[in-house]
Amino acid sequence: MIYFDNSATTCPDEGVLTSFIEVNKRFFANPASIHLAGKQAETLLEKSREQILSILGAPDGDLVFTSGGTEANNLSVIGFARAFRSRGNHIITTEIEHPSVLNAMEYLETQGFVVDYLTVDEQGLISVEELKSKLRPETIVVSIMHVNNEIGTIQPIAECARIIKEHSRALFHSDTVQSFGKLPVSLKGDGPDAVTISAHKINGLKGSGILAFRRGIPPQALNFGGGQERGLRSGTVAVADAVALAKAMRISMVDEEQKEFRQWRNRLIDFIAPYDDVVILAPDQAAPHIVSIAFYRVKGEVAINFFQENGITVSTSSACSSKSTTAGHVIEAIGLAEKYKNGVIRISFGKNNIEQHVVEFEQVFARFMALLGRGND
Ligand SMILES: Cc1ncc(COP(=O)(O)O)c(C=O)c1O
């Protein structure tokens, strides 16, 4: 089976799995316990924290281990909004964020916060001018994703950070779940103030992630209990998850492999472009591992089933957030023509893919188009 759904989740790396099992076997003690075994677990936990912060270029930063990207996004959006409530109640985000940001925003609106949603163009790109015009003295949080999970658009995060810093006192959070390991992500000088990372998107394990942020600006905790993670996330910390995440992050640092993804993406785009009645959702500024396409009056599920029967796993554009088969909010936001809306599929590469997989995809794609009676002249 050829697996091309790496934006939904990736296959865990062998080394990551080994670390996870080893740590669970040998360092299973509670890191909050004061006996020797507890201290050893705590040492491992803190070493993982240090490694992650150093990868993010922020050795003096801070981070909270979470159950994944969803929890980290919730903690960031709601936790920072509550932490800075005395300064204002205005928040800015985009209309194409992951539901873990959008639904948190919706909740904040019920709590008296005012949220502005930046629009995107047909490539899924926000306008920095619009961002600038929306910033107000009472803006306390801005949350803008780095790479969109459905169509791969890269937002101009560094420019956003600069504008936000020049024109407001708002905290700038970026959901970097789809970009970490594919593009440089950092909490250094001109980057965002806080980033979300999820382990299972980078060949780590499901149920593990982080919210990392600059020191001295902690969010307000959303859960209550024993006060672990310096009071920011109560509950016994999963040391093996932390070690496994640090390992996944180390091995997924941007490397040569990314060049291959970019080549495969270009190759696929060139192959598909001549076909009639297919739209390639290929933003100019896009992550190397995501290609979404839309078929004219063919349901995405029909295409997915055809590929599945021919040994290739692809997904509808929003498969990582729900099983919904109707056009998602991103497809609506970019204004895709009605006749293409329900025919979107997403191909996303991961480290277990090889070029031959792309070749086989092309062959199956050609058969599918022939079946639909659509040519490529
Ligand atoms: C951009 C983005 N943010 C957040 C998430 C949520 O991450 P998790 O599955 O770890 O909760 C996902 C994946 O579903 C995603 O693609």
Judge whether residue 324 has pLDDT over 70: no
CATH number, residue 130 = 3.40.640.10
Q: How far is ligand 1, taken at its centre, from the CA of residue 2, in Å?
A: 22
Gap between the terminal Cα atoms of the chain: 30
Q: Kindly list the protein residues whose Cβ atom lies closer than 6 A to any atom of ligand 1.
A: 68-70, 73, 98, 100, 145, 149, 175, 177-178, 198, 200, 209, 320-321
Structure confidence by residue, pLDDT tens digits, 117-146: 999 999 999 999 999 999 999 999 999 999
CB 51 within 8 A of CB 246: yes
| CA-proximal residue: ligand 1, atom 4 (nearest) | 69
Q: Are residues 62 and 45 in the same domain?
A: yes
Q: Are residues 216 and 328 in the same domain?
A: no
Pocket test for ligand 1, best of 97, 201, 290 (most atoms within 8 A of CB): 201
Residue range(s) defining the domain that contains residue 22:
14-251
Domain annotation covers residue 211: yes
How many structural domains does the chain have? 2
Q: How far is ligand 1, taken at its centre, from the CA of residue 247, in Å?
A: 19
Judge whether residue 92 has pLDDT over 90: yes
Q: How far is ligand 1, taken at its centre, from the CA of residue 144, in Å?
A: 14
Domain end call among 251, 283, 316? 251
Domain end call among 226, 251, 276? 251
Q: Are residues 290 and 227 in the same domain?
A: no
Domain annotation covers residue 332: yes
The pLDDT, as a whole number, for residue 175 is 98
Q: Are residues 151 and 291 in the same domain?
A: no
Average pLDDT of the chain, as a whole number: 95
Q: Are residues 105 and 139 in the same domain?
A: yes
Domain annotation covers residue 376: no
Mean pLDDT, to the nearest integer, of 336-359?
A: 96
CB 261 within 8 A of CB 289: yes
The pLDDT, as a whole number, for residue 189 is 82
Q: How far is ligand 1, taken at its centre, from the CA of residue 77, in Å?
A: 14
Q: Are residues 73 and 204 in the same domain?
A: yes
Judge whether residue 232 has pLDDT over 70: yes
| CA-proximal residue: ligand 1, atom 8 (nearest) | 69
Domain end call among 251, 268, 290? 251
Q: How far is ligand 1, taken at its centre, from the CA of residue 176, in Å?
A: 9
Q: Are residues 139 and 152 in the same domain?
A: yes
CATH number, residue 306 = 3.90.1150.10
Q: Are residues 102 and 229 in the same domain?
A: yes
Domain annotation covers residue 217: yes
Pocket test for ligand 1, best of 9, 208, 320 (most atoms within 8 A of CB): 320
Mean pLDDT, to the nearest integer, of 292-303?
A: 95
Q: Are residues 241 and 286 in the same domain?
A: no
Closest atom of ligand 1 to 209 CA is 10
- What's the whole-model pTM score? 0.96
Residues involved in catalysis? 320
What is the percentage of the chain residues whose pLDDT exceeds 70? 96
What is the percentage of the chain residues whose pLDDT exceeds 90? 91
Q: Are residues 236 and 290 in the same domain?
A: no
Domain annotation covers residue 142: yes
Q: How confident is the model at residue 233 (pLDDT cuts 50, 70, 90)?
A: very high
Pocket test for ligand 1, best of 7, 96, 100 (most atoms within 8 A of CB): 100
Higher pLDDT, 320 or 8: 8
Structure confidence by residue, pLDDT tens digits, 26-36: 999 999 999 99
